[in-house]
Structure 1
Amino acid sequence: MFVHKKIKMVQCNFKRITVVPNGMDIIDIILSRTHRQTPTVVHKGYAISRLRQFYMRKVKYTQQNFHEKLSTTSRSSRGWMISTLFMETSSMGRANLLSYVFWINTSRNLIGKISKDYVKLLKYADSLYRCKSLMVAALGRMCTVIKRVGPSLAYLQLIRQHMARLPSIDPNTRTMLICGYPNVGKSSFVNKITMADVDVQPYAFTTKSLFVGHTDYKYLRYQVIDTPGILDRPFEDRNIIEMCSITALAHLRAAVLFFLDISGSCGYTIAQQAALFHSIKSLFMNKPLIIVCNKTDLQPLEGIPDEDMKLVMQMKEEAMKTVLGQGGEASSDDSVLLTMSTLTEEGVIAVKNAACERLLNQRVEVKLKPKKINECLNRFHVAIPKPRDQKERPPSIPRAVLEAKAKQAAEKEKRKTEKDLENENGGAGVYSANLRKNYILANDEWKEDILPEILDGHNVYDFIDPDIIETLEELEREEEEEDDDFEMDGNDLTPEEQEALAAIRKKKSLLIQEHRMKKRTAENRPIDIHKRSVSVRGCKRERSLGREDGAEAMDIDVNQPNKKLRLRSRSLSRSRSQSRPPHEVVPGEGFKDSTQKAKALKLNRKSVKKRNKDARLGEADRVIPTLKPKHLFSGKRSTGKTQRR
């Protein structure tokens, strides 16, 4: 989001720029829209005036659509010109873009002139053929103009694609700009203080465009811009990659961090880096400037030669002059010249904090400079009471307030945070924080109990029995005694009780054997719901008859070895479960005899016959079916059948 110095700084998201269609796409879109949005049928009864209006409407509508499409493209292209980064660094810059935009505007005007001329001719057309010919000629000339401007539209689409790849930079927010020679550690610094993932390689010009990251300082968001490396050479000899950095320095209001590689491992000496600093120092005006000496792990600043130290001191003096030239206070050496190492991360956070603090102070000073602050101060009035006697009454603070404030300060100093305790006891992974030490309990010893007092909203003590083990053992002993007593040997029973016991045991064994037989044959028997209902009614009838045949069923051994006896017993049980005839009268149904019931059933079947024939669900079914289903009355007619035209 770079802006020209003559244009107001605004934020723009290049990724949302609309796509520029090519010439053929515009022609297809407009002609299709004209065909869809205007009338298409001409009847032979139309008067000549109506025919003229018909074709004049098509020509005018097509011209309006072309005008809107080209105007939208032209407006968006003019908005792109705020990008100084692309215009000043590209081999095809602002002049080329203006020329292409000019051709688009010219094409729009030509289409308007063509429409005007042919509408004038259509007013005096004397036939349908003449009107149609003029309309075709008008649309053809408009499409020819669009085809000629096709290369301009294709070029604008390339510009849009290029600008969509540019980073989104807000020129109005707090910004830190990092510059210097290639391979001096700029990208490594950005990766350390932000979440950006800039590629870092041990060769020059790894960074070929701008990369933006974000960091926080004092609950404020700062954007950090990593620029490509700059070489010390004339302005006209710099390539597009270097011009990205130069343009950012020229047009962004940011704190500048000039990186120095004092170890010389980047391939450039300190003298060459100092020469670059002095050649671009005019771009540092009115910007907070910090000189960062990087790679101190390879070469400390105190160990460099005296000649190089003298160059570094000169650069520091220039930075101090820049601060004083902005109207700011004289900064200390620590705030202008800083050292760090991105490998060991020594001094990285100090450099970030110093740059953010300098930038914050500079922005506050800029806001206080305008005359508006004086206008605001004039609105305030401090009232001073007049003395009523000769006694002096100096301002005082109550003693209670001072004592409370001192007590709070003492408590704040004494209290240690978990971070302090962690650092004192070996750091992360060694010290484990005690989460129970701040529990509010009646006894502090309870904080270290393994079993909690409250669990899931319930009092754990309500569910604890201290004698649970003894109670459990007693229950087990009682169960063992009951099991021993349950087995009856029959010696203590009377003859009648022994006979009843034998009958019960026999009945139990029969039930078990019957259940096992049914379970074995259950997989081979089909499930018949009707038979099940019939058997249920048969069982009810058996109960009503007083279980006359029930005794016979109990006397038959279902587990007999003879297969014929088993089949006979099964047929007997089936004969008992047959349902009653439908005409049989059951008490409570309201019929006098079976003849009356049979007549009622016949009338019932006759009443639902029509409904069943229409396939209706019931009396409330009012659905009207499709009288002519599509699968029967659609498709090609066969030869000779014309009754369904």
Structure 2
Amino acid sequence: MVLYNFKQIQVVPTGKDFVDIVLSKTQRQTPTVVHNGWAINRIRQFYMRKVKFTQSSWHDKLTKILEDFPKVDDMHPFFGDLLNVLYDRDHYKLALGQLHTARNLIDKVSQDYVRLMKYGDSLYRCKELKRAALGRMCTIMKKQGPSLAYLEQVRQHMSRLPAIEPNTRTLLVCGYPNVGKSSFMNKVTRADVDVQPYAFTTKSLFVGHMDYRYLRWQVIDTPGILDRPLEERNTIEMQSITALAHLRAAVLYVLDISEQCGHSLAQQAALFHSIKPLFANKPLLVVANKVDVTQLESLAPADKALIDEMVSEAARMSGVSPEDAKLLTMSTLTEVGVMEVKQIACDRLLASRVEAKLQGKRIQDVAFRMHVAQPKPRDRQGRPPVIPANLAAARARKDAGEKMRTEKDVEDENGGAGVYSADLRKHYMLDNPSWKRDIMPEIIEGKNVLDYVDPEIEAKLEALEMEEEALAAAAAIEANEMDIDDLTPEQQELLRRIQARRKVVVREHRLKKGAGNNQAIVPRRNNPRRISNTQTMKASLERVGLDASKAIARARSRSVSRVGRKRQRDASAGAGEAMEVDGSQAPEKKRIHSAKSRSMSRGRALSTAKPIEGSGLKNVAQKNKAIKMGDRAQRRMGKMARKGEADRHIPDLKPKHLFSGKRGIGKTDRR
């Protein structure tokens, strides 16, 4: 059976709104400009497109409506009969059938006029055919106005129907009006049904859910039923009759023994016997409500006989033994007996569902695949259940009336929260209870880590530290006692500079350490202290008392030699050109000279390529050979003109075919 979610049915527009929606969509999403100078085939295609688009819009929208509304023959019998009670099944089918016919007529109109439009010989003739086609379609849909209005009313009512699952575990509460059905449902579920002291407060089915034995149950509250013939019952009563007829549930027939509902016990018993065929093959319980107003013992013998007759009849119909049959009593006002009624009803329903499954045909297929394993005893030793000694002692103290001493009591006795710290080790279960207070209670063969620590380690460590402090003090005294008079005036000046420089370095280090990482990093070219040139090198070396003349001369000589080599190459090239012009040197000699200079230049450059430690190259010769082999391999890739890792690549982060705007049919943004 297909279960529909009636709340997902879309709104059904009226006939006039339907026409406006489709024609507006056609105007917006089809071309709107046509010229008389176009070829006749193009004009035909223009108007044929409008007719086909309109027909497609009608077809899609009508198909959506027909698919949303459930088919009566495919629904569960409960929903089918409930639909028949509320809306009349014949009217419902007629309305859907008329929409189905209208859809076929619109398709036929479109087909006929498209066929005629293929023979249109002018723009005016094609335009009139298009107007006629759209006009006939709109006329057909305007005639469906009553059907569309009826279906919208049905949709609104169906969206308000409760979500009832016909095949799940269900408790169905029924009886006369104002006997306490809604009050019982509010007590056992999370529902909030309106309860008033007059009849027919509940006018439709209400569903609530509860949990019992880790299972989800649904409880259905039905409107009150009066004892009269079926043809005289109204729509409100027929909803209850439909639920009793089709739902596989445990039925709770509620009696008002106080007769405050306005009906006597004889009338309630008569209703029970009149609707008795609806209780067949269902667990049935008779529940007496309002025992807080009238006690069961205070009833008249005739009323007791009627109640006993109903209880015995309910037991017979449910297949319960007469010994187990009994009248359930409760009071929804004081909640006496409410939970007992709920438990007994749920247990009866579970037992009946299991029995029904055992009597079915599928149980045989399942039984052949089942195997019940019985454990075998591994020895003859008895293992009776044992209660731990501490638990037994706690139970004994509880039975003796002693209050259990909790950790909260200990905390209050020792100063309260924030002062007392709970002892988490007193419940440790160790082989030796003395291990609980160990600093490191990891047990290794009966010992912990502290058992392997030298107990005099702290005294030895203190003696070692004192020895180091004595050595450091002696070294300081020896340094201070250095005889400065033995030094020459130059050495004394140098020592003074070194000590001053040391103080500056220490002070700068402390300032940098105190500032942390909050100082901004100034680029080297803008920081006068970090500029690398011969002046700064000379000043830094002279500050520590070193002669910087040789270092400066070496740096300048390297710079001069680099510039000199460049000038030498330029001079040799100029001399060669001059010789070639003068004719005093042969071209062959010039080529040999230029090749030699190039090889010397390359060799001088390669000689600086020192191998890095750990790279696998022993000396400069192997490093130069590796560079040549790499150049040779790259030369072949260069001839193939392929992209390498050194080639610059600017990725296109927004490719046009993915990020450019796409305009759908009928959009006029370009205008």
Residues 319 and 521 of structure 1: is their aligned pair in 2 closer, same or farther, counting only changes over 3 Å? closer
After TM superposition, the score normalised by the length of structure 2 is: 0.60
Aligned mates of 1:308, 1:444 — CA distance in 2:
75
Question: Could you tell me whether the CA contact under 8 Å between 1:30 and 1:66 is conserved in 2?
Answer: no
Q: Note if 1:462 corresponds to 2:449.
A: yes
Q: State the 1:150 CA deviation.
A: 3.5
Give a deviation string over 1:285-335, Cα, whole Å, max 9, x none: 332211122344555534444343223112213313433xxxx4x523544
Corresponding residue SS for 1:292: strand
Question: Could you tell me whether the CA contact under 8 Å between 1:422 and 1:431 is conserved in 2?
Answer: no
Q: Note if 1:227 corresponds to 2:222.
A: yes
Aligned mates of 1:532, 1:192 — CA distance in 2:
83
Which among 284, 307, 319 is matched to residue 312 of structure 1? 307
Paired residue type of 1:592: G
Which among 6, 18, 24 is matched to residue 14 of structure 1? 6
Paired residue type of 2:150: Y
Residues 460 and 61 of structure 1: is their aligned pair in 2 closer, same or farther, counting only changes over 3 Å? farther
- Range 130-139 or range 144-153, more displaced: 144-153
Query: Gapped runs of 5+ residues in structure 2?
Result: 408-423, 486-491, 572-644, 653-671
Give a deviation string over 1:158-177, Cα, whole Å, max 9, x none: 32232223222222233221
Q: Note if 1:143 corresponds to 2:138.
A: yes
Aligned mates of 1:513, 1:373 — CA distance in 2:
93
Give a deviation string over 1:27-77, Cα, whole Å, max 9, x none: 5347636974799867745356x7556645643553354234324423543
Give a deviation string over 1:78-100, Cα, whole Å, max 9, x none: 5268434653443x433433343
Which among 457, 474, 482 is matched to residue 496 of structure 1? 482
Residues 510 and 542 of structure 1: is their aligned pair in 2 closer, same or farther, counting only changes over 3 Å? closer
Corresponding residue SS for 1:228: coil
Q: Could you tell me which residue of structure 1 aligns to residue 329 of structure 2? A: 339
Corresponding residue SS for 2:69: helix
Aligned length: 534
Aligned mates of 1:448, 1:164 — CA distance in 2:
67
Mapping of residues 270-285 of structure 1, within 5 Å: 270-285=265-280
Aligned mates of 1:295, 1:369 — CA distance in 2:
39
Residues 422 and 119 of structure 1: is their aligned pair in 2 closer, same or farther, counting only changes over 3 Å? farther
Q: State the 1:512 CA deviation.
A: 6.4
Paired residue type of 1:166: L
Give a deviation string over 1:571-592, Cα, whole Å, max 9, x none: xxxxx9xxx9xx9664598332
Q: State the 1:142 CA deviation.
A: 0.9
Question: Could you tell me whether the CA contact under 8 Å between 1:175 and 1:223 is conserved in 2?
Answer: yes
Which among 153, 156, 162 is matched to residue 148 of structure 2? 153
Mapping of residues 354-503 of structure 1, within 5 Å: 354-366=344-356, 411=385, 443=431, 453=441, 461-462=448-449, 495-496=481-482
Q: State the 1:118 CA deviation.
A: 3.4
Residues 68 and 510 of structure 1: is their aligned pair in 2 closer, same or farther, counting only changes over 3 Å? closer
Query: Gapped runs of 5+ residues in structure 1?
Result: 1-8, 381-397, 553-575, 600-617, 626-645
Residues 358 and 112 of structure 1: is their aligned pair in 2 closer, same or farther, counting only changes over 3 Å? same
Question: Could you tell me whether the CA contact under 8 Å between 2:173 and 2:252 is conserved in 1?
Answer: yes
Question: Could you tell me whether the CA contact under 8 Å between 2:440 and 2:449 is conserved in 1?
Answer: no
Aligned mates of 2:108, 2:122 — CA distance in 1:
24
Q: Percent identity?
A: 41
Paired residue type of 2:55: Q
Aligned mates of 2:159, 2:376 — CA distance in 1:
60
Residues 521 and 415 of structure 1: is their aligned pair in 2 closer, same or farther, counting only changes over 3 Å? closer
Mapping of residues 523-538 of structure 1, within 5 Å: 528-531=522-525, 534-538=528-532
Give a deviation string over 1:430-471, Cα, whole Å, max 9, x none: 7989xx99x99763858988989469x9x9943799999x97
Corresponding residue SS for 1:535: coil
Corresponding residue SS for 2:285: strand
Q: Note if 1:87 corresponds to 2:83.
A: yes
Which among 542, 547, 560 is matched to residue 541 of structure 2? 547
Question: Could you tell me whether the CA contact under 8 Å between 2:498 and 2:544 is conserved in 1?
Answer: no
Q: Could you tell me which residue of structure 2 aligns to residue 115 of structure 1? A: 110
Q: Could you tell me which residue of structure 1 aligns to residue 563 of structure 2? A: 591
Which among 285, 294, 298 is matched to residue 290 of structure 1? 285
Q: State the 1:277 CA deviation.
A: 2.6
Aligned mates of 1:461, 1:519 — CA distance in 2:
43
Residues 485 and 183 of structure 1: is their aligned pair in 2 closer, same or farther, counting only changes over 3 Å? farther
Residues 84 and 473 of structure 1: is their aligned pair in 2 closer, same or farther, counting only changes over 3 Å? farther
Residues 415 and 466 of structure 1: is their aligned pair in 2 closer, same or farther, counting only changes over 3 Å? closer
Q: State the 1:137 CA deviation.
A: 1.6
Paired residue type of 1:331: S
Give a deviation string over 1:247-296, Cα, whole Å, max 9, x none: 21122222211123435566665445434433433322332211122344
Paired residue type of 1:590: R
Question: Could you tell me whether the CA contact under 8 Å between 1:59 and 1:138 is conserved in 2?
Answer: yes
Residues 79 and 596 of structure 1: is their aligned pair in 2 closer, same or farther, counting only changes over 3 Å? farther
Q: State the 1:130 CA deviation.
A: 0.9
Aligned mates of 1:373, 1:527 — CA distance in 2:
82
Which among 165, 168, 172 is matched to residue 163 of structure 2? 168
Pairwise CA RMSD: 6.0
Question: Could you tell me whether the CA contact under 8 Å between 2:269 and 2:310 is conserved in 1?
Answer: yes
Aligned mates of 1:113, 1:161 — CA distance in 2:
32
Residues 320 and 25 of structure 1: is their aligned pair in 2 closer, same or farther, counting only changes over 3 Å? same
Q: State the 1:139 CA deviation.
A: 0.7
Q: Could you tell me which residue of structure 2 aligns to residue 560 of structure 1? A: none
Paired residue type of 2:83: M
Question: Could you tell me whether the CA contact under 8 Å between 2:34 and 2:46 is conserved in 1?
Answer: no
Paired residue type of 1:12: Y
Paired residue type of 1:547: L
Q: Note if 1:254 corresponds to 2:249.
A: yes
Aligned mates of 1:274, 1:21 — CA distance in 2:
49
- Range 512-521 or range 207-216, more displaced: 512-521
Question: Could you tell me whether the CA contact under 8 Å between 2:19 and 2:138 is conserved in 1?
Answer: no
Corresponding residue SS for 1:198: coil
Question: Could you tell me whether the CA contact under 8 Å between 1:27 and 1:143 is conserved in 2?
Answer: no
